Amino acid sequence: MSSLHPRDLIPQDFDIDAFAALIDRPDPAIRQDARERRRRTAVPQAALGRLGELGDWLASVQGQAPARPIERARLVVFAGDHGVAAREVSVHPAGRASDLARAVLDGSAPVSVLAHQYGAQVRLVDMALDCDPGELPEEVVRHRVRRGSGAVDAEDALTAQETVAAFRAGMAVADEEADSGTDLLVLGDVSVGGTTVAGVLVAALCGTDASVVTGRGSGIDDLAWMRKCAAIRDALRRARPVLGDPVRLLAAVGGADFAAITGFLLQAAVRKVPVVLDGVVSAACALVAQRVAFRAPDWWLAGHVSGEPAQAKALDRLSLEPLLDHGVRLGEGTGALLALPLLKASAAFAAELPETGEAGG
Ligand SMILES: Cc1cc2ncn([C@H]3O[C@H](COP(=O)(O)O)[C@@H](O)[C@H]3O)c2cc1C
Ligand SMILES: O=C(O)c1cccnc1
């Protein structure tokens, strides 16, 4: 008989199913109120295009109509390395996500340029980078649960205990942000091999083959694509026995950053702070989180289409329609941040277009 080591046991005081009851839908009456206010402006309904609906959504998640301006948007970037990167499935060297993370910290990363441009604060959270923790600031490494997550095609990414610790860290980050008055969370990720892991989770939860979810990630060639597809196929075999259990699924074929993002998304919904999703990693975690609490996706917005087929599949399952499609494949939260000016525009229209008193067109 096989025996479970204590680190494979989910702590007894951890109840992931409690989220299902803790998360409400954003208030539909407020959404309706926002829609009716919009009808009373001189601008015809159709003229605002998607910005009208976006303003209604924003009002509903903020709990007031018209929507308030977004004043304290914060980009939260979760970082981690993945053992599966050793299969050469990324253009980035395996185990070197810390290089990408350092660029986010020193302001030279693509996402730093956008964050600076849009006045968004950036917070980097190291969950499992493969570098000495002493190389990074204490506030960045304080949530780290291990050095690199396991290679999901051959071994578990994490123990059950590490998964719960990472999930709780993500919840704690969402709580800290909610407590400090962040009014919009913009999600990003920095990893090497992350799009492979995301592909596994999406294929597992959608019941599709590896080839359907395998994309070019950070820009891989045909040979690397075949290696990535094979790694996803192998990991899918490992995922199947634990499909019904989100914690065991994240432990078997996820990673510390994925577990943290899943906890972060769910707790943000509990705290009623809206989140803009970025690419395939955000989408994969959102899909896991939807399994935990089916109402949670109403609190999230899909910033863009990243071109990874797994992202499109996941967003479809989440009934989230991405705002932008410009072929941006940079990760780091760039696609989510690009949506920020549109959201701000929708809030400004909602708040500042005068009502005429009569219903418009
Ligand atoms: C210039 C550049 C910088 C990036 N920084 C993060 N990513 C993106 O690539 C990684 C995932 O891709 P893969 O699964 O292939 O390793 C993540 O770090 C994601 O944020 C980048 C992608 C590019 C092209
Ligand atoms: O979907 C993503 O997040 C993505 C896609 C390509 C490259 N990096 C990230």
* 299 alpha carbon – ligand 1 mean position (Å): 26
Residue whose CB lies within 8 A of the most ligand 1 atoms, among 84, 100, 112, 216, for a mutation test: 100
Closest of 68, 311, 336 to residue 186, by C-alpha: 336
Residue whose CB lies within 8 A of the most ligand 1 atoms, among 218, 261, 304, 332, for a mutation test: 218
Token pair belonging to 306: 């990243």
* 288 alpha carbon – ligand 1 mean position (Å): 21
* 218 alpha carbon – ligand 2 mean position (Å): 6
Catalytically active residues, by annotation = 332
Tell which atom from ligand 1 comes closest to the C-alpha of 194.
14
Bridge partners of residue 80, in order along the sequence = 128, 191
* 191 alpha carbon – ligand 2 mean position (Å): 10
Give the whole-angstrom CA distance, residue 235 versus residue 198: 11
Residue whose CB lies within 8 A of the most ligand 2 atoms, among 280, 304, 330, for a mutation test: 280
Residue 7, domain member (yes or no) = no
Residue 339, domain member (yes or no) = yes
pLDDT 10s digits, 212-224: 999 999 999 999 9
Tell which atom from ligand 2 comes closest to the C-alpha of 278.
3
Residue 11, domain member (yes or no) = no
The ipTM value here is 0.98
**46-49: long-range contacts, CB 8 A cutoff, minimum separation 24:** 46/361, 48/346, 48/349
* 134 alpha carbon – ligand 1 mean position (Å): 24
**Residue owning the nearest CA to atom 8 of ligand 2:** 331
Token pair belonging to 101: 């993370």
Tell which atom from ligand 1 comes closest to the C-alpha of 191.
18
Give the whole-angstrom CA distance, residue 168 versus residue 263: 6
Bridge partners of residue 125, in order along the sequence = 78
pLDDT 10s digits, 32-70: 999 999 999 999 888 999 999 999 999 999 999 999 999
Residue 148 falls in which region: left (phi positive, over 0), alpha (psi -120 to 50) or beta: left
Give the whole-angstrom CA distance, residue 288 versus residue 286: 5
Residue 27, domain member (yes or no) = no
Q: What is the pLDDT tens value at each position of the chain, 361 positions in all?
A: 567 788 889 999 999 999 999 999 999 999 999 999 999 999 988 899 999 999 999 999 999 999 999 999 999 999 999 999 999 999 999 999 999 999 999 999 999 999 999 999 999 999 999 999 999 999 999 999 999 999 999 999 999 999 999 999 999 999 999 999 999 999 999 999 999 999 999 999 999 999 999 999 999 999 999 999 999 999 999 999 999 999 999 999 999 999 999 999 999 999 999 999 999 999 999 999 999 999 999 999 999 999 999 999 999 999 999 999 999 999 999 999 999 999 999 999 999 999 986 554 4
Residue 315, domain member (yes or no) = yes
Query: Residue 271 is part of a domain; what is its CATH number?
Result: 3.40.50.10210
- Using the Cα atoms of residue 211, residue 212, residue 218 and residue 222 in order, give the sign of their dihedral: positive
Q: Rounded to whole angstroms, what are the CA distances from 137 to 108, 122, 177? A: 17, 14, 19
Give the whole-angstrom CA distance, residue 143 versus residue 318: 28
| Domain count along the chain | 1
Residue 83 falls in which region: left (phi positive, over 0), alpha (psi -120 to 50) or beta: alpha
Residue 31, domain member (yes or no) = no
* 332 alpha carbon – ligand 1 mean position (Å): 7
**Residue owning the nearest CA to atom 3 of ligand 1:** 330
Task: Print the domain residue range for 319.
Answer: 71-344
Residue 212, domain member (yes or no) = yes
Q: Which ligand is nearest to the CA of 328?
A: 2
Q: Check pocket membership of 282 for ligand 1, CB cut-off 6 A.
A: no
Tell which atom from ligand 1 comes closest to the C-alpha of 196.
14
Q: Check pocket membership of 335 for ligand 1, CB cut-off 6 A.
A: no
